[in-house]
Every structure is written in structure tokens, then in C-alpha cells.
Amino acid sequence: MSEKIENTLSRPEPLEHGFKKAAILFAGGPAPAANAVISAAAVSFLRNGIEVVGVKHGYSSLIEFSEDKPLVEGTDYVMIDHPMLSRTRSKPGIMIGTARANPGKLVSSQEHLQDPERVAPLKNVYEGLLSLGVDALVSIGGDDTLKTANKFKLYQDTLPEGSPRIPVVHLPKTIDNDYRGIDFTFGYFTAVDFIAREVRNLLADAEANRNYFLVESMGRSAGWLAYGVAIAGEASLVVSVEDIRGKFRAKEEFTDADGNTHSRDVMNMNEVIRRIVATMTTREREGKKYGVIVIAEGLAELLPYKYVEGVSRDDHGHINISAINLYELFSDLIAAEYQRQTGAKRSVKPVQLGYEARCAEPHAFDVMLGSQLGVGAYRSLVEKRLDGVMVSVEGQLQLVYVPFEELVDPKTLVTVVRYIEADSDFRKLTRFLETYVNEEEYAQ
């Protein structure tokens, strides 16, 4: 009896499904390979008879939807077709735009889902999508967008029986790479390479002029990007939020503008600055009067209160890092501490890097990863009939589907940041490569 041999050059057989129109939405900051994700997802739906709506600029228009303010084609959304997708997977930017509008801003617990005022923006999103005939939603974005996707699903769980259902799947995006449920996010390696090239240029400049550069790298919550940049850029030292522990951490009590007293963990600024200067003086003893120090922007969240008093926060509660100028603050403190220790002046030039990388032309790996995630959106909805999952990959881009409840705290509805583990080999790699400081001498 002969076995049936599968034709390996054939596309998988189309499946029976009830979907007519899928919406794709991108929210949060840009990332390289965004268009690979959007394009691969869209073409998968289109080739299987499902129309595709590209929602423009995140949730901005959907939040404002009402009968008196309908969604307008060309302004609020576009109908994606095959000509629009021609040669777009490697194209920089985001073909449907993005924004940080947050329809789940007022919902921070399960109980809030029963409050009509708090869920009103989510209701607008739901009704706006229904008005376009959408019966599936692909959400692309960072952890804040994942939270929103989960809240959108939970909102639909509260609807009366028989109400139309819009299943939602989420595709993880962040150059910060601080996502639970996936090893590396699309755009991360492109961003690392782009910023690392700038760091190597600064290193050559520093060597020629015998000075230092203090580079603030993006990475709001965790140090993946800063560490990657330090490794590939051959930096002298990297400091991120994961490093603020032990003697580098302190407890602070402060009184806010309303007269309320608070207690919080902060950076021990004196110890952190002393440790950075120790790298500089160690390099000098080795005959290297130059270098590049990399710090992660997320350190701003750990600054003592006197540095962040009055600084605004965004819809997701994140501090306005641009209002702090962390890189300039650190540069000044390092220069002052160096002079205090040595009696000599040393130029420490502050540079902020990161935004330049967010729309860089993506590398092949990020295009491949992003494309697989995009196809995974189609496969999770149509092949697996899933709702409320994040599309992930493992091994050789093998698709995995992670339920929202494994990624979001069911009580607070907040995602859990994936930090670099203290004893991980990734972290040890960085420490092996950077300038070695004798901790016993430094402690004295």
C-alpha cells in the first residue's frame, strides 16, 4: 500500500471559516519590521477570502466613535489590498500609523468592567469595529497594548448572551524586548545594531579626543536594549534597572505636593555614580583615557523624588522621561565625582540614542520573525479558532499561542515585565566583556 506523499510546495489547504473582515491595529511606539508584521498578517487573510481593515493611528479614532462621529475611510481606516502590500515587508515605518491612545485607561480591575463610564471607551471601540463589519481584531503593540487587548476581550465577556463577538489576538512589539511569553520581539536586533553602530562611532571619537560619552539608551522597564547595545557597541560599562539592587538601592521617604508621605525604593545615586567613575579610573590605569558608558532610560523611574517632582506621566502611568534629561543629569554627576576623586577634570559628553532606531530598515531576522508573527495572527484565528491569545515563537520560529491570562495579572489587569535575570548567562556575558573593576579596591 503506497503512502500519500505530501506536496511540500503546496500552500496549506484553505479552511472553512466564518470570518468576513479582520481589522489590524498598531499601537504604541514604532519598531523595525512593523510593516513585515502588518503585511504578512494582511496577505494571509486576503489570500483566504477575508477582507482586511487597517485601523489608522491605533485606537485614536475608535475611542471617539459614535453614531454622530462615524469612522471615515482614508482618515480613520484603510481597506488593505494586495497592491498596497507590494514589497512592504522590509519597508521602514508603519503603513497604518500608530498612537498611544488607551481605551482601557479607566479600567484597572475586574469590577471596573461593570462600570458604564469606565468601559465607555472600550464600548466605542467595540461598536466602531462592528460598524465596519469587523469580526476579528489583530492587535500589534507593546505590553500596554497587550493590556488593552485583554481588557477589550474582558469587556466582551460582560456583554449579553448572543451579542456579536470580535475575537482578538495580540502580536508582541517592543524594541525593549521586555515581554513575557516570547524570547525576542521583532525590531529588537535591528534597534540594537543601529544604536551599537552609533556607540562604536562615539567610541572612536572618545579615543581620538581622550574623553567619555555617556549614552542614554531606550529601555523603559528593563535593560535588554541597553545591554545588547553595550555588547555589540563594545561599551565600557552598562547600567540598567536590574543593576539597582544591594548597595545601589536605597529607601526614600518623601512628601508630595498634596502633603502625603510616601516611601519608595530609589537609586542610591552616590553609589551608582561612584561605580561608574571606578570604571573610568580603572581604564586610566590600563592606559585607556576614554570610553562609552551606557545607561538605560528606565533608571529615570528610580530617581530620588527631588529629580522627578512635578514631572508628568502618560496615559499608562509612565513618567515623562524626556522632561528629565537623565543623560545630562548623569553626565554632570559623573564629571563632578571624577573631579572630586582625582582632582582632575574629565569631559563626559551626554548623548541620547534610541528614537533614531525605531523606524530603521529592518534586518532579515526581524523581517522573518515579524512575518511569522503576522502569519500567526491568521493561523491563531482561522486555523486554531482562538481568542485572547498572544502569538509567540520558539526555537526555529515555531508558532506558540499564549493565553492572555498567563501574561496579565487577573486582579490588577497589569502585565508583568520580563527583566534580565540576575544570574542569567545573558547578563554575565555583558559583565565578562566590559571593563573589569576590582570590587575590593573600589569598595575602599
For 196-234, how does the pLDDT look when each residue is reduced to its tens digit (9 = 90+)? 999 999 999 999 999 999 999 988 789 999 999 999 999
Residues 366-383, mean pLDDT to the nearest whole number: 97
pLDDT at 1 over 50: no
Which amino acid is located at 115 in the chain?
D
pLDDT for the residue numbered 287:
95
What letters, b where the CB count within 10 A reaches 16 and e where it falls short, cover 167-176? bbbbbbbbbb
Contact between residue 267 and residue 304 where contact means Cβ atoms under 8 Å apart: yes
Structural domains in the chain, sorted by start: 21-185+362-406 (3.40.50.450), 191-358+421-443 (3.40.50.460)
pTM: 0.90
The stretches of 343-415 forming alpha helices (DSSP H) are 364-378
Give the contacts of 20 (CB within 8 A, at least 6 positions apart): 50, 51, 133, 135
Fill in the DSSP letter of residue 311.
-
Residue 128: pLDDT band by 50, 70, 90 thresholds? very high
% of the chain with per-residue pLDDT over 90: 82
Cα 245 to Cα 56, 88, 241, 278, 360, distances in angstroms: 42, 44, 9, 18, 34
Assess whether pLDDT exceeds 90 at residue 101.
Answer: yes
> With bands split at pLDDT 50, 70 and 90, how would you rate the model's confidence at 444?
low
What is the rounded average pLDDT of the residues 345-372?
A: 94
pLDDT value of residue 377? 98
Q: Residue 214: phi, psi to the nearest 5?
A: -110, 110
DSSP code for 173? B
Highest mean pLDDT among 13-17, 74-78, 440-444: 74-78
Spatial separation of the C-alpha atoms in residues 29 and 175, rounded to whole Å: 9
Q: What mean pLDDT is reported for the chain?
A: 92
Q: For the chain, report the end-to-end CA distance as a whole number of angstroms.
A: 81
| 21, three cell numbers | 473582515
The reported pLDDT for the residue numbered 385 is 96
* Dist CA 159 CA 123 (whole Å): 10
Give dist(CA 153, CA 165) in Å, integer: 9
Res 228: pLDDT: 97
Please state the rounded mean pLDDT for residues 352-361.
91
256 or 246, higher pLDDT = 246
Q: What's the confidence (pLDDT) of residue 12? A: 75
Choose between 320 and 42: higher pLDDT. 42
Following CA atoms 303, 309, 315, 320 in sequence, which dihedral angle do they give, to the nearest 10 degrees? -60
pLDDT confidence bin for 441, thresholds 50/70/90: low
E strand segments, 77-122: 77-80
- When pLDDT is averaged across residues 181-198 and rounded to a whole number, the result is 96
**Neighbouring C-beta atoms of residue 137, cutoff 10 Å:** 25
- Model confidence at 80, pLDDT cuts 50, 70, 90, reads very high
What is the distance between the alpha carbons of residues 72 and 57, in angstroms, rounded to a whole number?
A: 13
Residue 183 has pLDDT above 70, yes or no: yes
Average pLDDT on 247-254 reads 90
Q: What is the pLDDT of residues 257-291, one digit of tens each?
A: 777 888 889 999 999 999 999 999 999 999 999 99
Residue whose grid cell is 489587569: 413
Comparing 90-94, 323-327, 334-338, 343-347, the range with the smallest average pLDDT is: 323-327
